[in-house]
């Protein structure tokens, strides 16, 4: 996920994400699907309030399409390293400027195990509109988690999975209204359904 520096400053907007909301301000009626996805987080030095809000934002984005998202601290257990419902995510405090220049994060959606997502936190803080308050970080996390669940590196023309977010997208983020477009939501659910079916067959 990439973005330009020197973004236009935004007026402070209240972010209330105690529950996911649609663009109209109403709570979505989507029933949460089972099984959900658990993301194991590893980080060096991230402000707790920033991380809590980021997790809340990412969870709300996925809840809006019926996919429960749970976060846990630490490394993914080795016994379940290849489970499609478990993802390991590393929050990197600082990386060299020449490392993936311009990128806020990167994922390896075709890998079956290991740390499949890296979020470059210093860049998220300095280039995104909320300046490290957690909302932007949550959307970057949601974007990369979706790549892994979709098992693709493709991007969309609108919504969470755009290759480059623009000012209208950032405005939606600040009020929790930026969502997956229908095609991306369907692909995420489709891949999870396939994985669940395979797990059931393997257990028989």
**Residue at 23 is within a domain:** no
pTM: 0.80
**Residue at 22 is within a domain:** no
**Helix, strand, or coil (residue 144):** helix
Residue 171 sits in a domain whose CATH number is 3.40.390.10
For residue 107, the cross-strand partners are 117
**Residue at 15 is within a domain:** no
In what side-by-side order are the strands of the sheet with 115-120? 69-73, 37-43, 86-92, 115-120, 105-107
Residuewise pLDDT in 10s, the chain (204 residues): 654 333 333 322 333 333 333 333 444 444 444 568 999 998 866 778 889 999 999 999 999 999 999 999 988 877 665 677 899 999 988 888 888 888 999 999 988 777 889 999 889 988 888 877 899 999 999 999 999 999 999 999 999 999 999 999 999 999 999 999 999 999 999 999 988 887 676 666
**Residue at 6 is within a domain:** no
**Residue at 2 is within a domain:** no
**Residue at 180 is within a domain:** yes
Give the chain's domain count: 1
Is 130 within 8 Å of 136 (Cβ atoms)? yes
């Amino acid at each position: 996920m990439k973005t330009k520096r020197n973004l236009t400053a935004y007026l402070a907007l209240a972010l209330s994400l105690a529950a996911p909301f649609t663009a109209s301000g109403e709570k979505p009626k989507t029933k949460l699907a089972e099984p959900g996805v658990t993301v194991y987080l590893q980080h060096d030095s991230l402000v707790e309030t920033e991380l809590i809000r980021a997790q809340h934002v990412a969870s709300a984005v996925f809840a809006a399409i019926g996919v429960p998202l749970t976060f846990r601290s630490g490394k993914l257990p080795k016994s379940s390293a290849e489970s499609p419902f478990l993802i390991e995510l590393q929050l990197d405090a600082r990386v060299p400027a020449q490392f993936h220049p311009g990128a806020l994060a990167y994922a390896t959606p075709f890998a079956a195990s290991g740390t499949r997502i890296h979020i470059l936190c210093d860049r998220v803080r300095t280039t995104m509109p909320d300046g490290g308050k957690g909302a932007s970080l949550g959307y970057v996390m949601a974007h990369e988690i979706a790549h892994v669940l979709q098992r693709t590196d493709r991007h969309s023309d609108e919504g969470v999975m755009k290759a480059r977010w623009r000012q209208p997208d950032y405005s939606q983020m600040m009020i929790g209204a930026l969502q997956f477009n229908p095609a991306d939501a369907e692909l995420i659910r489709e891949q999870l359904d396939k994985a669940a079916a395979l797990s059931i067959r393997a257990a028989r």
